[in-house]
C-alpha cells in the first residue's frame, strides 16, 4: 500500500534541471511573426497559398492556414530556444501514433517541398527558427466548453488509447529534462521568489514538502514516452459528433516519464475553474469520470491511483511556479500565460486543507 514518506529528500537532479529550464525555450523571447509572414512561409516552403489566422500561443507562432483549394492546415514556427532534437521528438512521436493507431485523431505531419518535416526558416531578424505543417483537426478547444457539455469519460478513454499507441515509441531524446515533467518539481524551488502573495508562497512551500514525501514511490512507477500535456487547450472536442474528442494536439511536452504523471496531468486539467476551496464542491468529481474512462482501456495499480492526486497537486504547483516566472519574463503575454494559474491557487488551498491520507483517497 502506498504511504507518503516523511523523510524523503529533494530530487538530486535539482541543479541540473533548473539550469536546463533557464536555458530552455520557456525563457527565450522572440519577435512575433504576422499573418503575412506566415503566408510567405507556406508559399515558399510548402507551395500552399491562401489566408492565415493567428492562434493565441505561449511560446511559438501558430497559424491556421486556409488554403485556396479549401484545405486547412496548422503552421507552427518554433521558438528560437527549441532544439532540433526536441522538435524531432515531437514530430517522430506524432508520426509514430499515426502509423500504429491511424484511427486516433492526431494531426498528420506534412513535409515541405524538399521533403523535410522540420524546415529551417531563419532570417537575419528571426534566427534559429523552423516551420512545421500539420493537418487541421475540426472542432473546438475543450477550454471553450463547460459543465455537462464535456464528456470526461471520453477524455479518459482517449488518453488510455494514446498511451497504448505511444508505448512502443522510442527516441534518442525521450529522456530529456523537462520543466513540465512533474518528477522534476524539486528543481523549481528557485522560482518561488516570483510568487508575490505570502499565502501563495506558503502553499508552494507545503507542496514541495508533500512532493518530497511521495517522490520515492514515484521512482518505482511504470514509465514510458507520454504526451504529458493532456490539458483543456490541447484537446479538440466535437460535442455533437459521434466521438466527443476530435483532436489531440501539441506534443511539445512529450517525454519519457511515469504513466501516473500523464494521468495526473489529465486529472488536474479537469478541476473546475470556478472553484471555492471552502465551498461544497468536489474538486475531483469530473476527474473520477475521466479515470473511469481511462481504466476501461488501461490499468493502474492501487498504489498509482493513490499517488495520482498528489501528482495532480504537484502539477498545479509547477504550473503556478512556471507561469508566474514566465509572466514576469513576458508581461505582454501575461493574460494568456496566467489564464489557468489564478484558479489554481484555490485548488492548492483545497489540497492544503486536507491531510495527505485524505488526498491519497481522493479518486477512490
pLDDT for 30: 85
The answer on 102 and 52 residing in a single domain is yes
**Average pLDDT for residues 108-124, to the nearest whole number?**
92
**Average pLDDT for residues 116-139, to the nearest whole number?**
89
pLDDT digits (tens, 9 = 90+) for 320-333: 999 999 999 999 99
The answer as to whether 2 is a domain residue is no
pLDDT for 13: 43
pLDDT digits (tens, 9 = 90+) for 208-260: 999 999 999 999 999 999 999 999 999 999 998 899 999 999 999 999 999 99
CATH of residue 287's domain is 3.90.1200.10
The answer as to whether 224 is a domain residue is yes
pLDDT for 25: 75
The answer on 225 and 206 residing in a single domain is yes
The answer on 330 and 207 residing in a single domain is yes
- The residue among 91, 109, 136 that closes a domain is 136
The answer as to whether 146 is a domain residue is yes
Other beta carbons within 10 angstroms of residue 86's beta carbon come to: 21
Whether 130 and 119 have beta carbons less than 8 Å apart is answered as yes
Other beta carbons within 10 angstroms of residue 47's beta carbon come to: 9
pLDDT digits (tens, 9 = 90+) for 253-302: 999 999 999 999 999 999 999 999 999 889 999 999 999 999 999 999 99
Least confident span in 102-116, 144-158, 204-218: 144-158
CA 344 vs CA 140, 203, 315, 324: distances in Å: 23, 11, 10, 12
The answer on 41 and 18 residing in a single domain is no
Q: How many domains does the chain have?
A: 2
Q: What's the whole-number average pLDDT of the chain? A: 92
Q: DSSP state, 70?
A: S
The answer as to whether 4 is a domain residue is no
The answer on 154 and 192 residing in a single domain is yes
pLDDT digits (tens, 9 = 90+) for 170-199: 999 999 999 999 999 999 999 999 999 999
The H-or-E segment that residue 246 falls in is strand 245-248
The answer as to whether 91 is a domain residue is yes
CA neighbor of 230 nearest in space, from 275, 270, 190: 270
The answer on 217 and 120 residing in a single domain is no
The answer on 319 and 220 residing in a single domain is yes
CATH of residue 52's domain is 3.30.200.20
User: Structure pTM?
Assistant: 0.93
CA neighbor of 3 nearest in space, from 310, 318, 329, 245: 310
The answer on 127 and 190 residing in a single domain is no
**Average pLDDT for residues 6-34, to the nearest whole number?**
62
At 12, the pLDDT band (50, 70, 90 cuts) reads very low
Q: How many Å apart are CA 242 and CA 120, to the nearest integer? A: 39
Does residue 122 surpass a pLDDT of 80? no
**Average pLDDT for residues 132-150, to the nearest whole number?**
91
The answer on 169 and 315 residing in a single domain is yes
pLDDT for 8: 37
The answer as to whether 240 is a domain residue is yes
pLDDT digits (tens, 9 = 90+) for 47-90: 999 999 999 898 899 999 999 999 999 999 999 989 999 999 99
The answer as to whether 8 is a domain residue is no
The answer on 148 and 102 residing in a single domain is no
Task: For residue 218, give its domain range.
Answer: 14-27+141-360
The answer on 237 and 189 residing in a single domain is yes
pLDDT for 287: 97
pLDDT digits (tens, 9 = 90+) for 125-134: 677 899 999 9
* CB proximity list for 74: less than 8 A, separation 6 or greater: 55, 62, 63, 64, 65, 107, 133, 134, 135, 136, 249
Share above pLDDT 90 across residues of the chain, in percent, rounded to a whole number: 83
Residues in the chain: 364
pLDDT for 124: 67
At 312, the pLDDT band (50, 70, 90 cuts) reads very high
The answer on 336 and 314 residing in a single domain is yes
At 9, the pLDDT band (50, 70, 90 cuts) reads very low
At 18, the pLDDT band (50, 70, 90 cuts) reads low
The answer as to whether 9 is a domain residue is no
Amino acid at each position: 500500500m502506498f504511504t507518503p514518506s516523511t523523510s524523503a529528500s529533494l530530487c538530486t537532479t535539482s541543479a541540473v534541471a533548473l539550469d536546463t529550464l533557464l536555458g530552455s525555450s520557456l525563457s527565450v523571447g522572440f519577435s512575433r511573426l504576422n499573418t503575412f509572414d506566415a503566408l510567405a512561409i507556406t508559399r515558399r516552403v510548402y507551395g500552399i497559398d491562401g489566408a492565415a489566422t493567428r492562434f493565441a500561443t505561449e511560446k511559438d507562432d501558430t497559424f491556421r492556414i486556409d488554403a485556396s483549394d479549401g484545405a486547412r492546415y496548422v503552421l507552427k514556427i518554433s521558438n528560437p530556444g527549441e532544439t532540433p532534437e526536441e522538435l524531432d521528438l515531437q514530430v517522430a512521436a506524432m508520426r509514430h501514433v499515426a502509423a500504429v493507431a491511424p484511427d486516433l485523431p492526431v494531426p498528420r505531419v506534412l513535409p515541405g517541398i524538399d521533403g523535410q518535416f522540420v524546415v529551417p526558416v531563419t532570417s537575419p531578424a528571426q534566427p534559429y527558427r523552423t516551420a512545421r505543417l500539420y493537418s487541421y483537426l475540426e472542432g473546438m478547444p475543450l477550454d471553450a466548453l463547460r459543465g455537462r457539455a464535456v464528456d470526461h469519460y471520453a477524455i479518459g478513454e482517449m488518453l488510455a488509447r494514446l498511451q497504448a499507441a505511444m508505448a512502443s515509441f522510442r527516441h534518442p531524446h525521450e529522456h530529456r529534462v523537462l520543466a513540465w515533467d512533474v518528477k522534476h518539481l524539486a528543481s523549481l524551488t528557485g522560482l518561488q521568489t516570483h510568487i508575490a502573495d505570502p499565502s501563495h508562497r506558503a502553499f508552494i512551500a507545503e507542496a514541495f514538502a508533500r512532493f518530497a514525501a511521495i517522490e520515492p514511490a514515484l521512482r518505482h512507477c511504470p514509465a514510458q514516452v507520454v504526451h504529458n500535456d493532456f490539458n483543456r487547450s490541447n484537446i479538440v472536442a466535437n460535442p455533437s459528433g459521434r466521438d466527443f474528442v476530435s483532436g489531440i494536439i501539441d506534443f511539445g511536452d512529450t517525454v519519457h516519464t511515469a504513466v501516473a504523471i500523464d494521468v495526473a496531468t489529465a486529472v488536474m486539467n479537469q478541476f473546475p475553474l470556478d472553484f471555492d476551496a471552502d465551498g461544497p464542491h468536489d474538486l475531483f468529481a469530473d476527474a473520477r469520470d475521466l479515470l473511469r474512462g481511462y481504466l476501461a482501456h488501461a490499468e493502474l495499480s492501487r498504489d498509482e491511483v493513490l499517488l495520482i492526486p498528489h501528482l495532480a497537486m504537484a502539477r498545479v504547483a509547477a504550473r503556478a511556479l512556471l507561469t508566474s516566472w514566465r509572466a514576469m519574463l513576458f508581461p505582454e503575454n501575461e493574460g494568456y500565460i496566467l489564464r489557468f494559474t489564478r484558479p489554481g491557487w484555490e485548488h492548492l488551498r483545497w489540497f492544503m486543507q486536507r491531510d495527505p491520507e485524505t488526498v491519497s483517497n481522493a479518486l477512490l
